[in-house]
Amino acid sequence: MVVELISVGTEILLGNIVNTNAAYLSEKCASLGLQCFFQTTVGDNEERLSMVLRTALERSDIVILSGGLGPTADDLTKEVAAAVMGRELLMDERSRKRIQEFFDKRGLSITDNNWKQAMMPKGAIIIDNENGTAPGVIIEAEEKTVILLPGPPNELIPMFEQDIVPYISGKTQETIYSQTVKICGIGESKAESMIKDLLEKQSNPTIAPYAKTGEVHLRVTARAEDVKAAKKLCKPVVKELKSRFGAYIYSTEEDTTLEKAVVDLLIANDLTISTIESCTGGLLAGRLINVSGVSEVFKAGYVTYSNKAKRKLIGIKKNVLDKYGAVSEEVARDMAKGASVFSKSDVTVSVTGIAGPEGGSEEKPVGLVYIGCNVKGKITVQKLQLSGSRAKIRETAVAQALILLRKCVLEYYSEVTFGKAK
Amino acid sequence: MVVELISVGTEILLGNIVNTNAAYLSEKCASLGLQCFFQTTVGDNEERLSMVLRTALERSDIVILSGGLGPTADDLTKEVAAAVMGRELLMDERSRKRIQEFFDKRGLSITDNNWKQAMMPKGAIIIDNENGTAPGVIIEAEEKTVILLPGPPNELIPMFEQDIVPYISGKTQETIYSQTVKICGIGESKAESMIKDLLEKQSNPTIAPYAKTGEVHLRVTARAEDVKAAKKLCKPVVKELKSRFGAYIYSTEEDTTLEKAVVDLLIANDLTISTIESCTGGLLAGRLINVSGVSEVFKAGYVTYSNKAKRKLIGIKKNVLDKYGAVSEEVARDMAKGASVFSKSDVTVSVTGIAGPEGGSEEKPVGLVYIGCNVKGKITVQKLQLSGSRAKIRETAVAQALILLRKCVLEYYSEVTFGKAK
């Protein structure tokens, strides 16, 4: 089945917001086994929106529109969709009641235009909105389906997950099941080359590689008559990927981020951690603290951007700084060592580097980064030469620090080897 | 003039990447005074791309296509555009030479398919690519213009800034000049209500409000026969905005971010700074360290997520933590006080809060954040009740900490008052 996305909103056309909904919906639709050939953004304009919707209905089976379901006169997605599909709008009592409750609960008064959000195309399926006042709408006609979703991501995403995914799965009359194998520490092209044979001969399940900073996600998707059969199809492929990528796989769980995998590993081994950062300036600590529950293991974070702070906060010796410079293997090592003494943590990770755009030299160019990791006295230092903007270099350094941390803890506590893929 | 954007790439249709190019180009085109009614994303498919381009040319004056200029057989944007515009492709010697140089410089060997990137539509204007091998292309026909840009943002953005902006400005036969008034500490709707009269009666210059976390940017855009005349038109409007928003304006410079304005203010007043963070866990330090040159003033950052770290690193008393809890006005105050003692900084900023999703209570719900700011002993504590995801709450807390820091320093060192707009 072919799906097409229409994003409605002048704020997207003006570049006021980045259209993350389209990326989210695209990925979700792909994982549901739908093909998507076109995505369009159009403003809150009756004529142009009608035109775009009519075109989409000619060439696609399912059209998903997002945005323009608000209470103001500008918002006309539902009105246009109803008109194009030849449906009149009627007051939906359940939606009316829910909107009343939404406002009552928050102690807000309702303005008249809010009732517009309870007007629904005749015969439509109405989807409750748990996080706002605009319900979702599904309008079914012969072989074509139009789905309307609210624009705010915090309303659109839960609605799609809870109601639209099962609805579409029901329509396709087959079940789509996906599992993601999440890899860190191997580049995208290297990872792809390692499974070139699998990518070439694939049909069902399929393997789709997605690159993130420092990571590659391989999404395995199978279609079958039910979940059990689809899972069964995925199983040998996931097993094959596991045997090829081994310890480079940090998770096969949908919700597990790299930082969560690292924190889980620390918790499992009962290890406390502290960070000591120069060029990344707190972003590594910040990413670890993304994980709700990190308080069990996170002891302290030090941001020592200046040499003085490196000396004062964690006792880096002046002569070491003078001799080797702040961005050096020796200082990265001493930072990891010093932080463990000062914080009394089992594990410490240090980052020192030149994020640019200034501060580079022939000998030490912008992008040179040293990461130190100290697991109970066993210190590993990794040298990296990164490229890109200041922000990109810092983001990559943080990802690489998490990857090194994971590797060092695994190597310390188990017989894991990382040699194979490198 | 009407512009239309076409993003070419299967990776966008699959949700593999977020289409930030579209947002960038939209904003730039709006600031050039172009109207944009449609944006389309289509895959690397000859038939569908031709169809989309033909439709765009029917309804818009300028069509900007991004992506699909790479060297592989998949990449066919240039081939399709040439076919639709009825132009043959010819080898462009200058582009051929530049591609050769690009590879030579990097010590890479050229594969045959790279020469495809030097084939150009007859009569086209060719734009050098300083950051990659795919040149940009402008194809002009009666009253219609097609512009082809490489997909990677680090190639597209510099090319657009350097070559496409002057080209389009030339076409419009008038100059567009924009200046942005950047405001912090006032919400978007409040800011809009303060200039409702200006927004209603505007024609030339126009004022366009853009919301960011904790900030509102008002972009003033004027059209005139030359830059001087356009600047002259902007001047009284910017002056009026300055008089209405006063000290809430942190900059009118294009390149100045909030963190840069704050760091500049610290440098100007010769003030050193340290941060002490709980729920934001290093992100505030990380944002200050975005500013290249912050090393002049940034002394130390402490990440004290646990109570133990708060006690150990900056000497928060156990009885204070026990009596008031880690998320309290008293602890925020003591963190700002303790950090100044331990780091010997002139200014310290503390953040403590409940970012969720766990850890909230009736009395102290998720989103409760206290920010403390200590300027040479004068301590201000601000209480916030934020909403959204863990990530959103932390991002907002960081922005609010920068805003409070700026406010406290300004109030300490000058007669600035912030009463007016609140």
pLDDT confidence of residue A419: 57
Condensed to tens digits (0 to 9), the pLDDT of residues B314-356 reads 899 999 999 999 999 999 999 999 999 999 999 999 999 999 9
State the smallest CA–CA distance between residue A286 and chain B in angstroms.
5
Distance of alpha carbon A397 from alpha carbon A280, whole angstroms:
7
pLDDT confidence of residue A72: 77
Distance of alpha carbon B184 from alpha carbon B186, whole angstroms:
6
**pLDDT band at B11; cut points 50, 70, 90:** confident
Report cis status (omega within 30 of 0) of the bond before A357: yes
- B401 Rama sector, left if φ>0, alpha if ψ -120 to 50, beta otherwise: alpha
Q: Tell me whether residues A40 and B37 touch, CB distance under 8 A.
A: no
Give percent above pLDDT 70 in chain A: 99
Q: Tell me whether residues A303 and B292 touch, CB distance under 8 A.
A: no
> Which residues from B are below 8 Å from A391, CB to CB?
290
Range B62-80 average pLDDT: 91
Nearest CA in chain A to B44: A37
pLDDT confidence of residue A249: 97
Distance of alpha carbon B373 from alpha carbon B329, whole angstroms:
11
Distance of alpha carbon B119 from alpha carbon B186, whole angstroms:
52
DSSP classification of residue A173:
T
Interface contact B109, partner A, CB < 8 A: no
pLDDT at B422 over 60: no
ipTM: 0.81
CB B153 within 8 A of CB B66: no
Q: Tell me whether residues B305 and A305 touch, CB distance under 8 A.
A: no
What pTM value is reported for the model?
0.83
DSSP classification of residue A163:
I
Burial class (CB in 10 A: 0-12, 13-18, 19+), A319: exposed
Fold of A2-172: Molybdenum Cofactor Biosythetic Enzyme; Chain A (3.40.980)
Query: Which among A213, A232, A63, A24 is positioned nearest to A144, based on CA atoms?
Result: A63
Q: Looking at the partner chain, which of A15, A52, A357 has a beta carbon nearest the beta carbon of B23? A: A15
> Which residues from A are below 8 Å from B388, CB to CB?
154
Domain boundaries, chain B: 2-172, 175-251, 258-413
Q: Tell me whether residues B15 and A38 touch, CB distance under 8 A.
A: no
State the first-to-last Cα distance of chain A, in angstroms, to the nearest integer: 40
pLDDT confidence of residue B421: 46
Condensed to tens digits (0 to 9), the pLDDT of residues B167-191 reads 998 887 777 788 999 999 998 778 8
Fold of A258-413: Maf protein (3.90.950)
Interface contact B341, partner A, CB < 8 A: no
> Which residues from A are below 8 Å from B304, CB to CB?
300-301
Which tokens in the block code for residue A406? Answer: 């994971």
Interface contact B319, partner A, CB < 8 A: no
Range B212-226 average pLDDT: 89
Q: Tell me whether residues B19 and A16 touch, CB distance under 8 A.
A: no
Residue A273 host element (H or E): strand A273-277
Query: Pick the residue with more confidence: B413 or B21?
Result: B21
SS3 content of chain A, % helix, strand, coil (to 5): 45, 25, 30
* Crossing angle of helices A329-343 and A307-314, rounded to 10°: 40
Interface contact A39, partner B, CB < 8 A: yes
> Which residues from A are below 8 Å from B286, CB to CB?
280-283, 286, 303, 394
Condensed to tens digits (0 to 9), the pLDDT of residues A142-179 reads 899 999 999 999 899 999 999 999 999 888 777 778 89
Give percent above pLDDT 90 in chain A: 70
Q: Looking at the partner chain, which of A29, A303, A357 has a beta carbon nearest the beta carbon of B300? A: A303
For testing the chain A interface, which of B7, B19, B277, B292 should be mutated: the one with the most A CBs within 10 Å?
Answer: B19
pLDDT confidence of residue A421: 46
pLDDT confidence of residue B419: 57
pLDDT at A73 over 80: no
Highest mean pLDDT (candidates A273-282, B96-105, B199-208): A273-282
Range B278-294 average pLDDT: 94
How big is the A-B interface in CB pairs under 8 Å?
Answer: 220
Please provide the CATH number assigned to the domain covering B175-251: 3.30.70.2860
Q: Tell me whether residues A26 and B12 touch, CB distance under 8 A.
A: yes
Strands B273-277 and B347-353: parallel
> Which residues from A are below 8 Å from B155, CB to CB?
none
pLDDT confidence of residue B106: 76
> Which residues from A are below 8 Å from B306, CB to CB?
295, 298-299
Nearest CA in chain B to A391: B290
pLDDT at B228 over 70: yes
Interface contact B192, partner A, CB < 8 A: no
Tell me which residues of chain A, numbers 233 to 292, contact chain B at a CB-CB cutoff of 8 Å: 275, 277, 279-286, 288-290, 292
Query: Pick the residue with more confidence: B75 or A6?
Result: A6
pLDDT confidence of residue A287: 97
Strands A249-251 and A175-184: antiparallel
Asked if domains A175-251 and A258-413 share a fold, the reply is no
Distance of alpha carbon A344 from alpha carbon B146, whole angstroms:
62
pLDDT at B79 over 80: yes
Query: Pick the residue with more confidence: A190 or B140?
Result: B140
pLDDT confidence of residue A46: 95
Give percent above pLDDT 70 in chain B: 99
> Which residues from A are below 8 Å from B22, CB to CB?
12, 15, 19, 41
